[in-house]
Each structure stands twice: as structure tokens, then as C-alpha cells.
């Protein structure tokens, strides 16, 4: 254990330096994966994390990176908790993170719009209105519902003809 217990704000700062292994321009804090950081009465640090989806293969790497960071900062008494409820949502991403995604060439989660214009809609009656991260056009189409990782879809822009990933809305 370290001689002086670091503040929660300091630990959050350390977590914000850990890049997401699949989208390195965002940290695990930017994505909303780190849900809570707290000290117990026994001076054990708890870091709660939520995967972007329940089968996310990056969670092992993320957990390992968190452990390494804490150990490198002198924290030896800690526990990682995986929280599946509430489920992660793209709403947990900051506006700044969404803009950095766009600059990186990945469209952030899009808003859902009705195809028929009639509500309520079943999920099969919805489509994503996606803005191309390169030229800004909304004239885009789905190439594949599965992109470079399971949490992304692959789209193509009809204006600039470029393919791009879209972070799926959860």
C-alpha cells in the first residue's frame, strides 16, 4: 500500500490516461467504461468497469491495463468489479469523445430515425441516420452491420464514396 492514499480525483486522472485498446484516441474514461472509483473502509481501492457490450474481447486488456496503472502508481490493495447492470450505453460517452471519434474517422453513435415516420417503432423499422465523418454528408448507406469490431458497423458515404465505421448505438 502507498504511504499516502491518493485522492479519487487523482485515480480518475490515471484512468483517463489508459487508452481504449480498439479506439486509442479515446480513454476508457472517455468511453464511460470506468463507472466508479472508491476506497473501502479497509483501504482497498475498488474500480468498477462496464463493458461496451457483454462479450467485448477488449475487457481483458482493459482490466490488465488498469491493474498495471494502479501497480505503477503504488496501489497494491485493489479490486476490479465488472458491472453489467446498468448496461453500457453510448449516452455515457462525452460530447468531446464523440467529436474525437469523428476526427479519427469513426462516426459516433447516430440518432435513430423512423423509416415509416410512425411511432412507436420496432427495432426493425428503424435505421440510423449517419453523418459521414469525412465530408459531413448524411447520404450514407450500411455496407455491413458488423464493422472492424463488434461494437461498430460499416457504412459508405454516397457523396465522397469513402467507407467508414460507425459506433453502434446501445
| Contact predicate 76/109, CB 8 Å | no
Report which secondary-structure segment, H or E, holds 64: helix 59-72
Domain boundaries, the chain: 8-88, 94-167
pLDDT at 1: 46
Measured CA to CA, the distance from residue 30 to residue 33 in angstroms comes to 8
Q: For 8-88, give the CATH class.
A: alpha beta
Sequential pLDDT tens for the chain (170 residues): 446 899 999 999 999 999 999 899 999 999 999 999 999 999 999 999 999 887 888 999 999 999 999 999 999 999 999 999 998 888 888 888 999 999 999 998 765 444 444 444 344 434 557 899 999 998 999 999 888 887 888 999 999 999 999 988 76
Amino acid at each position: 500500500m502507498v504511504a499516502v492514499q491518493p485522492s479519487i480525483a487523482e485515480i480518475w486522472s490515471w484512468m483517463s490516461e489508459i487508452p481504449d485498446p480498439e479506439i486509442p484516441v479515446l480513454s476508457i474514461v472517455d468511453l464511460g467504461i470506468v463507472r466508479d472509483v472508491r476506497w473501502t473502509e479497509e483501504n482497498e481501492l475498488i474500480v468498477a468497469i462496464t463493458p461496451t457490450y457483454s462479450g467485448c474481447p477488449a475487457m481483458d486488456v482493459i482490466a490488465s491495463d488498469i491493474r498495471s496503472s494502479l501497480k505503477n502508481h503504488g496501489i497494491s490493495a485493489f479490486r476490479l468489479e465488472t458491472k453489467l447492470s446498468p448496461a453500457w450505453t453510448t449516452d455515457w460517452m462525452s460530447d468531446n469523445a464523440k467529436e474525437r471519434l469523428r476526427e479519427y474517422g469513426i462516426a459516433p453513435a447516430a440518432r435513430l430515425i423512423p423509416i415509416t415516420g410512425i411511432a412507436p417503432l420496432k427495432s426493425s423499422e428503424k435505421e440510423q441516420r449517419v453523418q459521414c465523418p469525412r465530408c459531413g454528408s448524411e447520404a450514407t448507406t450500411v455496407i455491413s452491420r458488423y464493422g472492424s469490431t463488434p461494437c461498430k458497423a460499416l457504412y459508405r458515404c454516397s457523396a465522397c464514396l469513402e467507407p467508414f465505421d460507425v459506433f453502434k448505438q446501445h
